[in-house]
C-alpha cells in the first residue's frame, strides 16, 4: 500500500506534491534553500525536530542544487513530511488540495478550539505545556493571518492575552501585520504606564522597520514618563525605541546609551531574576542602529552569565546571539572572527517569533562579507519584500 502511494506521487502528482513539500519545508525552515550551507543547516534542523537524519547531499539534490537522476526515497519523503508536521504523504497531499470552503470551516473550528484552550489552560512560569501550545498556535496564526486577527480580538481582554500572548511572545516577524495591529487592542486595555510604554516602544520599532518617520515620531512621543527601574524588559524596549528614534532623526544617542547602561547596572546589582532580558532586547536595537561596540559589551555580558551546555547550543537565543556578535565583530574590523562565528550560526534554529527578521540580518551579513550568491541576494530581496521591512536595508550603510 505504501509503495503504490509513492508510485502514484512519482508518476501522476509528483510536480504538485514536491512543490507543496518544498514550500512547506521553506516555511518551517524560515528561508529558501539555495546553498550547500543551507542544506547542512536544514539537515541539522530536521534532526533536531524529528530525531531522524537526512544527508545534506540528498537535500542538495531535492532542491535542485545539483543534478538528480532520481526522486527522494520513501524514507526521506516520510522524514520530510514529519518535519513539516504531517504524519503521512496522504496527509500532506490532502492539506495541499483543500478548497476554500473546507479551509474556512477548518479555520473557524480551529479558532474556537485554540480560544478555548487559551482561556482554560493554567499558566505559570514553568508551564511548558502552555508555552508549547502557544508556540504551535502562533505558528498556525503566522500562516493564517485572517484567523490571527479574529483570535486577537477574542483574547485581548483576557488577562492571559495581555500578560502572556502580547508581552511574553513578542512576534517581531509579524510586527507589521497582525501582531502589530493587535498592539492597538492591547493599548485599549492597558492600565499601567509600563504597559503603554511597552506597546508604543514596539510600535516605534515597527515603524522603524518599515521606514515610516512620521509614525516613528508619533509612536515614540506617546510614551509617557515611566519607572525605568521597575521592569527590565520594558526598560530595554523603551531605550530601544529611544535609540531608533534618535537614529532616524539624527539626534545624539550618548545620553540614551548612558541611561540604558545605568538601568542595566541597576537591574544587575538588584539581582533581578530576568535582568538578562534587558541586555538581549537592547542588543537588537544596538545592532540595527550601528552601535556595534556597545552591542559587543552586552553580548559579552550575556555570554558570561549564560552557562550554555553543548547540547543546548541549538536554542534560538544562543543562535541569535551568535549572529549579533558576528555582525558586531564584522563592523569593528574583526572580519575573520566574525566569519568563523557566522559559519557556526544555525538560522534554522532562530526563534519562531523572529526567524524571518533574523534571516534578513543573516543574509545581509553574508552579503557584507562577500559570502553571498545570486540566489541569496534574490532570497534577501524576496524576504525583505514579504516583511516590508525596508528599514533593514539601511544596516549595510552603518
Give 103 or 327, the one with higher predicted confidence: 327
Give 303 or 240, the one with higher predicted confidence: 240
| Residue 7 pLDDT > 50 | no
Rounded Cα distance between 80 and 47, Å, is 10
Residue 248 pLDDT: 95
User: Tens of pLDDT along 52-75?
Assistant: 999 999 999 999 898 888 888 889
74: cell is 520513501
Q: Across the chain, which distance is largest between two alpha carbons, in Å?
A: 70
Domains of the chain with CATH codes:
2-96 (no CATH), 190-397 (1.25.40)
Q: What is the pTM of this model?
A: 0.78
The span from the first CA to the last CA of the chain, in angstroms, equals: 59
Rounded Cα distance between 207 and 111, Å, is 29
25: cell is 519545508
Q: Is residue 203 within 8 Å of 170, Cβ to Cβ?
A: no
Q: What are the b/e assignments for 245-270, b being 16+ CB within 10 Å?
A: bbbbeeeebeebbeebeebbebbbee
Give 173 or 11, the one with higher predicted confidence: 173
User: Tens of pLDDT along 244-301?
Assistant: 999 999 999 999 999 999 999 998 887 766 667 899 999 999 999 999 999 999 999 9
Amino acid at each position: 500500500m505504501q509503495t503504490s502511494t509513492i508510485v502514484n506521487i512519482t508518476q501522476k502528482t509528483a510536480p504538485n506534491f514536491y512543490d507543496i513539500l518544498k514550500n512547506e519545508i521553506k516555511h518551517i525552515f524560515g528561508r529558501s534553500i539555495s546553498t550547500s550551507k543551507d542544506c547542512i543547516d536544514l539537515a541539522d534542523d530536521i534532526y533536531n525536530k524529528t530525531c531522524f537524519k537526512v544527508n545534506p547531499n540528498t537535500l542538495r539534490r531535492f532542491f535542485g542544487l545539483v543534478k538528480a537522476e532520481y526522486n527522494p526515497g520513501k524514507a526521506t519523503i516520510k522524514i520530510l513530511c514529519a518535519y513539516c508536521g504531517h504524519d503521512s504523504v496522504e496527509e500532506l497531499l490532502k492539506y495541499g488540495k483543500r478548497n476554500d470552503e473546507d479551509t474556512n470551516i477548518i479555520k473557524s473550528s480551529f479558532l474556537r478550539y485554540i480560544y478555548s484552550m487559551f482561556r482554560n489552560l493554567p499558566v505559570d512560569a514553568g508551564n511548558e505545556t502552555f508555552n508549547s501550545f502557544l508556540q504551535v498556535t502562533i505558528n498556525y496564526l503566522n500562516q493564517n493571518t485572517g484567523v490571527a486577527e479574529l483570535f486577537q480580538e477574542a483574547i485581548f481582554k483576557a488577562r492571559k492575552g495581555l500578560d502572556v500572548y502580547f508581552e511574553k511572545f513578542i512576534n517581531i516577524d509579524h510586527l507589521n501585520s497582525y501582531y502589530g495591529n493587535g498592539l492597538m487592542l492591547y493599548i485599549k486595555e492597558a492600565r499601567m504606564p509600563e504597559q503603554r510604554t511597552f506597546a508604543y516602544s514596539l510600535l516605534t520599532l515597527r515603524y522603524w522597520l518599515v521606514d515610516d518617520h512620521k509614525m516613528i515620531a508619533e509612536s515614540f512621543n506617546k510614551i509617557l514618563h515611566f519607572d525605568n527601574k521597575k521592569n527590565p524588559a520594558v526598560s530595554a524596549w523603551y531605550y530601544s525605541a529611544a535609540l531608533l528614534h534618535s537614529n532616524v532623526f539624527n539626534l545624539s544617542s550618548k545620553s540614551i546609551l548612558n541611561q540604558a547602561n545605568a538601568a542595566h547596572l541597576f537591574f544587575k546589582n538588584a539581582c533581578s531574576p530576568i535582568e538578562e532580558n534587558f541586555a538581549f532586547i537592547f542588543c537588537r536595537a544596538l545592532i540595527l542602529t550601528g552601535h556595534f561596540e556597545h552591542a559587543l559589551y552586552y553580548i559579552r555580558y550575556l555570554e558570561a552569565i549564560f552557562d550554555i551546555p553543548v547540547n543546548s547550543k541549538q536554542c534560538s537565543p544562543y543562535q541569535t546571539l551568535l549572529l549579533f556578535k558576528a555582525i558586531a565583530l564584522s563592523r569593528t574590523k574583526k572580519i575573520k572572527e566574525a566569519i568563523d562565528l557566522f559559519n557556526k550560526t544555525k538560522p534554522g534554529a532562530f526563534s519562531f517569533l523572529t526567524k524571518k527578521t533574523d534571516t534578513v540580518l543573516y543574509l545581509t551579513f553574508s552579503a557584507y562579507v562577500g559570502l553571498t550568491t545570486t540566489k541569496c541576494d534574490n532570497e534577501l530581496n524576496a524576504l525583505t519584500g514579504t516583511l516590508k521591512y525596508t528599514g533593514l536595508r539601511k544596516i549595510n550603510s552603518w
